[in-house]
Structure 1
Amino acid sequence: LVDIPVAYDGADLAAVAGHLRIGIEEVIARHTSTLWRVAFVGFAPGFPYLVGAGTDLRVPRHRQPRVSVPAGSVALADEYCGIYPRVSPGGWQLIGVTTSTVWDPTRADPALLTPGTRVRFVVAGQ
């Protein structure tokens, strides 16, 4: 089980809450109370596609992807949660950012999160 601290201040957090018709605090509560599992890794080296049983955080991708998403961005799209391992384009809904390094080619195991890994998101600083 890997704990990932998140500062829930993402550019799309309010829009996600609006889409789901819940408050921002409820988005955070649902995200942090879900036990996530890495289903697969792709898009970019170390980018985990996480699934969470029973979560109700399904939101659409942006119609027009951003040109640049900051590394460490925690995002939602459809049934998945992901963490951007490096600066890259992306169309997911940004809900926060983590200081955890999910891809580091200098480590013996570059990917922090591999298929099957369980992940728990926690509010940074708590």
Structure 2
Amino acid sequence: MRIRPVGRHALLLDCDDPGQVEAWRAELWRRRDAGELSAVEIVPAAATVLLDGVPDPAAVAARIAGWTPRPVASPATAAQVEVPTVYDGEDLPVVAGHWGVTVPEVVRRLRETAFRVAFCGFAPGFAYLTGLRPEWAVPRLPSPRTRVPAGSVALAGPYAGIYPTASPGGWLLVGRTELTLFDVHADPPARLTPGTRVRLVAA
């Protein structure tokens, strides 16, 4: 792990792999909750963790360099959200072709996969879900759709995701849900936050 300054009041932790990202995300959130770390935002991504709103970045970087993340909590102890999913996405046959299986087998695999939110991005409330086997990674569409309906469940690369609002997108659509994933009046606004376990159960 490497620590770099970003601007006047931010730090960026460059991590070696997604597991290290999750370990540092959990450790920094824990330290902040315990009053050992001052940062307005702690934001994980695919290979980094951003600390923004840090009053003294140099001092905080030195402190972080002396920390060792605790082992990440067992997935069984993390909060879980079940997402009722109708598996009728138009790209299911495409995914089945990439995986070399039938459409029902794609659905079975997705229903049985234990997903976890790695990070959020792209749009408010859009969670990148890990848990698919590496060999199940699929390419994005060559040309993105101009509009993907809210609640669409989709795959791209090694991730699964659910569009919280209607937007353009190039992920492969495998289903849909009526579950509200982002509400500006809720606390927190995003239903799926980093570390949360997710199950795409049959609706």
The alignment's TM-score, normalised by the length of structure 1, stands at 0.94
- The superposition leaves residues 58-78 of structure 1 with CA deviations (integer Å, 9 ceiling, x where unpaired) of 110001000000000000001
Secondary structure of the residue that 1:30 maps to in structure 2?
Answer: helix
Q: Which amino acid aligns with 2:108?
A: A
Counterpart CA distance in 2 for 1:56 and 1:31 is: 14
Counterpart CA distance in 1 for 2:136 and 2:128 is: 14
Task: Indicate if the aligned counterparts of 1:74 and 1:97 stay in contact, CA closer than 8 A.
Answer: yes
- What residue number does 2:67 align with? none
Percent identity, aligned pairs only, is 56
- The superposition leaves residues 24-43 of structure 1 with CA deviations (integer Å, 9 ceiling, x where unpaired) of 11101111111000000000
- The superposition leaves residues 6-62 of structure 1 with CA deviations (integer Å, 9 ceiling, x where unpaired) of 000011111111221100111011111110000000000000000005475311000
Q: Which amino acid aligns with 1:96?
A: G
Q: Which has the higher helix share?
A: 2
Counterpart CA distance in 2 for 1:90 and 1:54 is: 23
Corresponding position: 1:19 with 2:98:
yes
Q: How far does residue 105 in structure 1 lie from its aligned partner after superposition?
A: 0.8
Please give the root-mean-square deviation of Cα atoms over the aligned residues, in Å. Answer: 1.2
Which stretches in structure 2 are left out of the alignment for 5+ residues?
A: 1-79
Counterpart CA distance in 2 for 1:111 and 1:40 is: 12
Task: Indicate if the aligned counterparts of 1:30 and 1:56 stay in contact, CA closer than 8 A.
Answer: no
Task: Indicate if the aligned counterparts of 2:115 and 2:129 stay in contact, CA closer than 8 A.
Answer: yes
Give the alignment of 1:1-126 within 5 angstroms: 1-52=80-131, 54=133, 56-124=135-203
Counterpart CA distance in 1 for 2:176 and 2:152 is: 4
The 3 A distance-change label for structure 1 pair 53 and 24 is closer
The 3 A distance-change label for structure 1 pair 58 and 29 is same
Q: How far does residue 87 in structure 1 lie from its aligned partner after superposition?
A: 0.4
Runs of 4+ in structure 1 displaced over 2 angstroms? 53-57
Q: Which amino acid aligns with 2:122?
A: F
Task: Indicate if the aligned counterparts of 1:27 and 1:57 stay in contact, CA closer than 8 A.
Answer: no
Q: Which amino acid aligns with 2:174?
A: I
Secondary structure of the residue that 1:94 maps to in structure 2?
Answer: strand
Counterpart CA distance in 1 for 2:132 and 2:90 is: 25
Rg larger for: 2
Q: How far does residue 113 in structure 1 lie from its aligned partner after superposition?
A: 0.2
Counterpart CA distance in 1 for 2:132 and 2:172 is: 19
